[in-house]
Structure 1
Amino acid sequence: MLSASSSLLRSSLRTAAKSGLQLRCFSHLPLSVPIKLPNGLEYEQPTGLFINNKFVPSVEKKTFEVINPSTEEEICHVYEGREDDVGIAVSAADTAFNNGSWSNIEPSYRANCLLNLANFIEQDKELIASIETLDNGKAINNARGDVQVVINYLKFAAGQADKMGGRLINTGDQYLNFAKREPLGVCGQIIPWNFPLLMWAWKVGPALATGNTVVMKTAESTPLSALYVSQYIPKSGIPPGVFNIVSGFGKIVGEAITNNPKIKKIAFTGSTATGKHIYMNAASQLKKVTLELGGKSPNIVFADADLKMAVQSIINGIYYNSGEVCCAGSRVYVQEEIYDQLLEELKNAAENVKVGDPFSESTFQGAQTSQNQLSKILSYVEIGKKEGATLITGGERLGSKGYFIKPTIFGDVKEDMHIVKEEIFGPFVTVSKFKTLDDVVKMANDSEYGLAAGIHTSNINTAIKVADQVKAGTVWINTYNDFHHQVPFGGFNASGLGREMGLESFEGYLQTKAVRARLY
């Protein structure tokens, strides 16, 4: 791979990293660098901030390093935004909103632009999936699935752009009443590192379809795919200032976005702790907020379930995307009659999960996205052992290069253990026994989170009864991590506020104006 910086610069950055310093430097970085991907594809990677439909350097010309989690090698540098850059981006977005070039234009025009955007991505989808795999470490087949969901969701959002107008209200012949749906204004959007492009689309789609403008912060560890697809924004017909990206760090760029008074709405996907902080900051200015946060989701297997199907759903529920999924089925509950049999089959299946080179077509579990995440997962392995749980399989780093870990299963767990209660965010699952439906519902709901749940049974009455009682925003029956762009996604309790995807996702980007006119 080609790098944007010299060997001297890389050496300095490595030294800084070993000293615990942030990987930042002053550099005259070009606005794009050539990159050759491991699968042989070559492309130009944008490195600038994206403001007013152009890639530009940051005000202070600082950059930060982007690391390939599969090799621990530098991919390139991108410009690091700071408070001044956020101010410039917000000003551009505010101007674009107030001049009406997007907010007041015919909704069908916005629909066509979003459709164009989806089509550009579709034409380039193999390259975009490869960029996602390079930057995030996820398996290439997972990345391809992400890109397809991106395309489908943008097309869905395009189809809703002209359906958000409002309604007439009949109060008799002396008045004309109508409720009008209007965009909010400038929206701040902060996306995570586990699904960089997918979260980009989940935020962009409803915000732009409803006529808002956007200032977005990507995750500092995975900025590349969002920057790459942003080059399609002007080509799609979207006016300058409507969509902007300021790459950078949460404590600087994220804070500046959250606190800017011109930003009327914050959409954040990430940890519950950060979500609470953002919520408190936004509340001081009465900003509208959407939060998609953490989870510790139960995946329940009844004795009458199809065992092979259930095991495959558990595998998909916890090892898909290297386990870096907020709704991962990280707590498996198995009815006691089949506990031993399921645990043995699950162990065999986990040990046959292909972990390694994410560009290999046979790989299911790629690398963890960062050294920090790998270290966190391994620390929970030690916590689980100390708490008295039984390590069934995994729990070890795989190889010495790249952030890989073996699929991990703990049995003989108790419900008050840290490994059962706390979000680990990796390929790490606990397996518990239960006796009755009432028992497992109580266990499933014994969590501060409420993002998702899985139910495996051949009895539809059992499935619906548990689905009704479990406290989760999404419930999958005889499947898991099975997303569709028309189905809303979001959590209860500490898992967040508002919804992504589905018709419900548009509500977070609209406000209602009532008009009542007396007729003479």
Structure 2
Amino acid sequence: MSGVAELDAPTTGGVIEVFNPSTEQRIGEVADSDKAAVDRAVARARETFEKGVWKNLTAARRAEVLWRAADIIKERANEIAAVEAIDNGMTRAHARNLILGSCEMLYYYAGWVTKIHGDAVDIITEGGIMGTFQEYHGYSLMEPIGVVGLIIPWNGPFYVAISKIAPALAAGCSAVLKPAEETPLSALKLESIFRDAGVPEGVLNVLTGNGETTGAALAAHPDVNKISFTGSTEVGKILVRAASGNLKRLQLELGGKSPLIMFNDADLTRAIPGAAIGLLVNSGQNCCCTSRMYVQRGIYEEVVDKLAVAAKAFRMGGSEDTDVDLGPLISAKQRDRVLGIVNEGVARGATVVTGGKAMDRPGYFVEPTILTGTTPDMRLITDEIFGPVGSVIPFDDEDEVLGWANDTEYGLAATLWTENIGRAHRLAKRIQSGLVWVNCALAADQSLPFGGYKQSGWGHERGWKGLEAYMNTKSVYVGL
């Protein structure tokens, strides 16, 4: 059992077995919550919202509760990280960093709670509808949107859960959280953590289940005012249709096929390790991973060789291992999909420089993989791989590579490596993505908005925009 307690069997719906991706061993089971369970959870959330047991607390009190929740998580960081690593397969160190990052997210939004307000303006009109001179005092109100459904993925479940819970509760909403069926275990700790911090019973509800059952019922529920979803573009499109019944608001953080562009003047002592991290973090299971790496021809051969060396240097191991850098993929299905994309590319002429195979050990491990000789129509270039696989493509000039970088249905993130500051700012404006890194990799902060262009999503998380996304704005005119 690896220290994870097996959960009680559900009273409704079926069960979902949970496996450790590092060992392929079963570590527990959770409920596949049915529509009736979703109805009950939404009803609890709706009751708490209408009664105002959370939203009507003073702002200072709600801020204090969120701060206390962060403190509890920080105190239990090692325990939660151990569960996250066993459930997801990520390394203990990476899991702990994400748990501590979730604390910072809560601290940040706790600080916003006492600063939520609208605007006020005095208005004088002449003529208009009334046909006379008129004075008004006008103001706007920021109000919580209501009951929100939060649907999170498997590639960092605890952190993504907090990135949604923190602004939702800061805004005064009540919530139903559905973790991914592959990684439900750390999310099951959240109800008790927030209850211990002082969030009233029923304000935050956690439901396990499959996407096509629990997730679908939550998305279509007529008493849910908003869905915040992180996951694939394919599922995002399904949610758009499911939300049409009551036109609930949607916040979608979807897929990516992020380009990296490295120019001849790049500082390779920083660019090579940065590119390797940007490609391989969490074994490539990150929507921002730069699996398309465009390198200017003057340094192309050198970069390919050094990237291969860097990739080989990453230490692979399971969630129980120490001193490792990368863990397995989430499942046998994902491992086979990733290797299928690699093998298909090789069959069509791509060359594996390093990696390209499953590891000969238990667990869903795939070697860090670098390829060359790809063409724009290969799935290696068009599809989100979600594995430790990157292709290196030579280019000659700025306009050429910009066209290639933007030639995708996605627009989540991009990375630029250049010492030319003018070029950096010029390309940052022209590239079609919601996030651009210049001479760095995967930098993130809760103060800046995170969201994508094109089919990478709708709306933003983090920052003020992330909080505003959980609120309605009302304008009031008072005649004087």
Structure 1 unmatched ranges of 5 or more: 2-34, 38-44, 49-56
Deviations 1:114-147 (A, max 9, x none): 1111000000111111111110001112111111
Q: Which residue of 1 aligns with 2:326?
A: 365
Q: Which residue of 2 aligns with 1:36?
A: 3
The worse-fitting range, judged by mean Cα deviation, of 283-292 and 246-255 is 283-292
1:124 counterpart = 2:84 = no
Q: Which residue of 1 aligns with 2:129?
A: none
TM-score, normalised by the number of residues in structure 2: 0.96
TM alignment of 1:54-65, pairs within 5 A: 58-60=10-12, 62-65=14-17
Q: Which residue of 2 aligns with 1:389?
A: 350
| 1:88 maps to which of 40, 65, 70 | 40
1:148 counterpart = 2:100 = yes
TM alignment of 1:279-294, pairs within 5 A: 279-294=240-255
Q: CA deviation at 1:358?
A: 3.1
Q: For the Cα contact (< 8 Å) 2:117–2:141, is it kept in 1?
A: yes
Q: CA deviation at 1:93?
A: 0.2
| 2:279 maps to which of 318, 325, 336 | 318
Whole-Å separation in 2 of the counterparts to 1:388 and 1:513? 58
Q: Which residue of 2 aligns with 1:167?
A: 119
1:240 counterpart = 2:201 = yes
1:512 counterpart = 2:473 = yes
- AA aligned to 2:443 is D
Q: CA deviation at 1:46?
A: 7.9
1:337 counterpart = 2:298 = yes
Whole-Å separation in 1 of the counterparts to 2:273 and 2:361? 29
TM-score, normalised by the number of residues in structure 1: 0.88
Q: CA deviation at 1:488?
A: 1.5
1:79 counterpart = 2:34 = no
Q: Which residue of 2 aligns with 1:31?
A: none
1:111 counterpart = 2:63 = yes
Q: Which residue of 1 aligns with 2:430?
A: 469
Whole-Å separation in 2 of the counterparts to 1:278 and 1:484? 28
Q: For the Cα contact (< 8 Å) 2:230–2:252, is it kept in 1?
A: yes
Whole-Å separation in 1 of the counterparts to 2:247 and 2:115? 27
Task: Please report the RMSD computed on the Cα atoms of aligned residues, expressed in angstroms.
Answer: 1.4
Whole-Å separation in 2 of the counterparts to 1:337 and 1:122? 47
Q: CA deviation at 1:58?
A: 3.9
Deviations 1:376-398 (A, max 9, x none): 11111111112211111111011
Q: CA deviation at 1:36?
A: 2.1
1:135 counterpart = 2:101 = no
Q: For the Cα contact (< 8 Å) 1:289–1:508, is it kept in 2?
A: no
- AA aligned to 2:7 is T
Q: CA deviation at 1:360?
A: 3.1
Q: Give SS of 1:76's match.
A: strand
- AA aligned to 1:258 is A
Q: For the Cα contact (< 8 Å) 1:296–1:421, is it kept in 2?
A: yes
Q: CA deviation at 1:416?
A: 2.0
> Percent of counterpart pairs with the same letter?
38
Q: CA deviation at 1:274?
A: 0.3
Q: For the Cα contact (< 8 Å) 2:380–2:391, is it kept in 1?
A: yes
Size of the alignment, in residue pairs? 471
Q: For the Cα contact (< 8 Å) 1:59–1:84, is it kept in 2?
A: no
Q: CA deviation at 1:61?
A: 6.6
TM alignment of 1:397-416, pairs within 5 A: 397-416=358-377
Q: For the Cα contact (< 8 Å) 2:32–2:213, is it kept in 1?
A: no
- AA aligned to 1:47 is L
Whole-Å separation in 2 of the counterparts to 1:175 and 1:220? 53
Q: For the Cα contact (< 8 Å) 1:169–1:179, is it kept in 2?
A: no
Q: Which residue of 1 aligns with 2:311?
A: 350
Q: CA deviation at 1:171?
A: 0.6
1:503 counterpart = 2:470 = no
Whole-Å separation in 1 of the counterparts to 2:280 and 2:322? 16
Q: For the Cα contact (< 8 Å) 1:215–1:245, is it kept in 2?
A: yes
- AA aligned to 1:108 is A
1:302 counterpart = 2:263 = yes
